[in-house]
Amino acid sequence: MAKNIQVNIVEEKTKGGVKSRRLVAYIVLGITCFFCLIWFYVLLINATRYHGEIKSGFSALPSSYLFYNLKNALTGTKPILQGMINSVIISTCTAVLCVYFSAMTAYAIHAYNFRLKKLIFTFILAIMMIPTQVTALGFLQLVDNMKLNDSFIPLIVPSIASPIVFFYIKQYMESSLPHELLEAARIDGAGEIRIYNTIVLPLMVPAMAVQAIFSFVSSWNNYFIPALVLTKDDKKKTLPILIAELRNTDYANNDLGKVYATIAFSIFPVIVIYLILSKYIVGGLAAGSVKG
């Protein structure tokens, strides 16, 4: 009887401790979500307000100028809609090429044994430490020599080599891509390209979906390199460049409502891409490979 009472006391204490930790976790997550989302709320509220209302101070309630601001943004001097199309093209091509060829590189390092394998892996990781700004001057000279200024090619093709995406997918392969599966495919007569496209890629869908989201968002928000390459034709510029040019005009004559509406307009493609790819993040790993 005494033992049962002690067991019950221990269970009650354990349940109480779990509830306390869960309550603390919910509070921390709630505070974190608040500080993450409050800025989006301010952005959306200001997108619905007139320029004079924004300058007068913050308001927690929306106004009625959203469509007016969007109309001014889309019909203004800057080709905002064309800039969004340019950003979608560049970001989509960047995400697809980056994920596909980084996964191919990771597969080569993971599946094959060859000389200098460790050295090549270390070299790729070392490139991760080099900031983009360090190589920007040489990159611009190369672009100028190849007559690729005001072109999307310098913004898309270099994305094939992404050490960060390679490293992430390589680590994912270590735990999710057994060598026995590859050997069985080779014994059945499958070629290496077929193995990669029909077995490896379906198995890597969760990792590739995550990296596709990150690559798309990184390319979408990229301002530094596009601002150096796309300098002359406004119709070739990406959305971040056009937003910066809108904001950098004379402050007294600048329409803040139009700027906020443009920024709000620019985040919708990122949300759409996340909603499309997020369903692949949590999914069956081996199931996709077997079906392929």
Report if residue 194 sits inside a domain. yes
Please tell me whether residues 159 and 38 are part of one structural domain. no
Supply the range of the domain harboring residue 39: 2-47
Please tell me whether residues 151 and 203 are part of one structural domain. yes
Query: So what's the pLDDT on residue 250?
Result: 47
Please tell me whether residues 139 and 241 are part of one structural domain. yes
Please tell me whether residues 10 and 93 are part of one structural domain. no
Query: So what's the pLDDT on residue 282?
Result: 56
Please tell me whether residues 36 and 108 are part of one structural domain. no
pTM, to two decimals: 0.80
Query: So what's the pLDDT on residue 89?
Result: 93
CA dist., res. 215 & res. 221, Å (int): 10
pLDDT tens for 121-154 read: 888 888 888 887 888 888 888 888 888 888 899 9
Query: So what's the pLDDT on residue 2?
Result: 52
Query: So what's the pLDDT on residue 284?
Result: 36
Instruction: Tell me the DSSP string of 49-89.
Output: S-HHHHHH---SS--S-HHHHHHHHHTSSS-HHHHHHHHHH
Report if residue 286 sits inside a domain. yes
Q: Taking a C-beta distance cutoff of 8 angstroms, is the pair 99, 209 a contact?
A: no
Please tell me whether residues 15 and 120 are part of one structural domain. no
Query: So what's the pLDDT on residue 20?
Result: 79
Please tell me whether residues 259 and 204 are part of one structural domain. yes
Query: So what's the pLDDT on residue 249?
Result: 64
CATH of the domain at 127: 1.10.3720.10
Q: Taking a C-beta distance cutoff of 8 angstroms, is the pair 239, 83 a contact?
A: yes
**Percentage of residues in the chain having pLDDT higher than 70:** 87
Give Cα separations from 12 to 61, 184, 289 (angstroms).
46, 52, 45
Q: Please report where in the chains the tokens 């921390």 appear, as a residue.
A: 28
Residues of the chain with pLDDT under 70: 1-18, 249-253, 278, 280-292
Copy the structure tokens of residue 90.
């560049």
Query: So what's the pLDDT on residue 285?
Result: 38
pLDDT tens for 97-115 read: 999 999 999 998 888 888 8
**How many separate domains does the chain show?**
2
